[in-house]
């Protein structure tokens, strides 16, 4: 019988995984928000994890403010590196399986074709560097460690790119969107379902990409969002990534391949366009 500790249960992915786990009676779990368990504090980890009899940990806790990480590197590494190290040490000591969530930003974006799990990493911003540092601790767990790399998450009730676009449309603001940066935008519901239904109970270790299939530029993704919101001709201006004023260096092409996922499970991830169609249907009262 599995007994699961879900860390970061108040984030986009954590919330969705928590809601899903309730539907699986074979999985006993406890969900911890940052207030319940701050992974940068050894005392919190001891009382919530080390002193319990968990068989699995799903770590969704992370420092995800990419821009802020550039100016507060210490805070980013405290969570994404040192916090993960502390969790990994407990997992090694107690032989707990750790499923850890990582990012496409561990790559520099220079490959020009979808990244496979074992491609060379080379993060170009502090957020990516902190996440890559955390990955190493999970890799050291061997068969008890699984890193799930995902990208560009969106869900209902949270701040993300989709809601940012919809909010600007609602306010009738102009849209300037990067047209030469490509990614694998991922519907959190699909990612959570893959983890809980197809990955959690399987002996998978190492690294696994889990994203909605396909690739799209941020400009075309924004265009699809406005069209689905009923604004097919909403004015948008294309801008180049190099011309976009930001404190963060971002990879131009960080699309993730899910070829490995397809070979080890019976899951089929929807394409990015089908996923956003479903999401827009859902938030517009489709259910």
Tell whether the torsion through CA atoms of 38, 39, 43 and 44 is positive or negative.
positive
Q: Is 127 a catalytic residue?
A: yes
- In three-state secondary structure terms, 41 is coil
| Integer Cα distance of 257 and 243 in angstroms | 28
Distance, in Å, from the CA atom of 62 to the CA atom of 60, rounded to the nearest integer, reads 6
Q: Give the whole-angstrom CA distance, residue 90 versus residue 155.
A: 31
Q: Cα separation of 162 and 62, whole Å? A: 21
| Catalytic-role residue among 127, 154, 234, 253 | 127
179 contact partners, CB below 8 Å, separation of at least 6? 217, 218, 219, 220, 238, 239, 240
- Residues 8, 19: Cα–Cα separation, whole Å: 13
* Backbone torsions φ then ψ of 242, nearest 5 degrees: -65, -25
Q: What are the catalytic residues?
A: 127
């Amino acid at each position: 019988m599995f007994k699961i500790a879900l860390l970061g249960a108040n984030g986009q992915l954590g919330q969705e995984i928590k809601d899903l786990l309730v539907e699986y009676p074979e999985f006993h779990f406890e969900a911890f928000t940052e207030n319940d368990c701050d992974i940068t504090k050894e005392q919190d980890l001891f009382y919530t994890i080390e002193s319990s009899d968990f068989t699995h940990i799903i770590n969704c806790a992370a420092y995800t403010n990419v821009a802020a990480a550039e100016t507060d590197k210490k805070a980013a590494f405290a969570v994404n590196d040192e916090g993960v190290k502390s969790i990994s040490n407990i997992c090694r000591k107690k032989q707990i399986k750790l499923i850890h969530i990582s990012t496409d930003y561990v790559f520099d974006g220079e490959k020009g074709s979808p990244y496979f799990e074992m491609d060379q990493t080379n993060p170009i911003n502090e957020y990516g560097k902190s996440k890559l540092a955390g990955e190493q601790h999970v890799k050291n767990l061997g068969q008890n460690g699984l890193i799930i790399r995902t990208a560009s998450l969106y869900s209902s009730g949270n701040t993300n790119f989709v809601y940012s676009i919809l909010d600007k449309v609602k306010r009738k603001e102009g849209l300037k969107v990067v047209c030469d940066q490509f990614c694998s935008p991922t519907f959190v519901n699909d990612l959570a379902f893959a983890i809980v239904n197809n990955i959690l109970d399987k002996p998978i270790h190492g690294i696994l990409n889990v994203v909605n299939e396909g690739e799209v530029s941020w400009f075309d993704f924004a265009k699809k969002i406005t069209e689905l919101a009923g604004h097919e001709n909403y004015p948008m201006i294309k801008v180049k990534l190099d011309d976009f004023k930001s404190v963060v260096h971002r990879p131009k092409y960080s699309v993730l391949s899910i070829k490995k996922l397809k070979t080890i499970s019976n899951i089929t991830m929807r394409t990015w366009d089908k996923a956003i169609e479903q999401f827009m249907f859902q938030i517009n009262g489709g259910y």
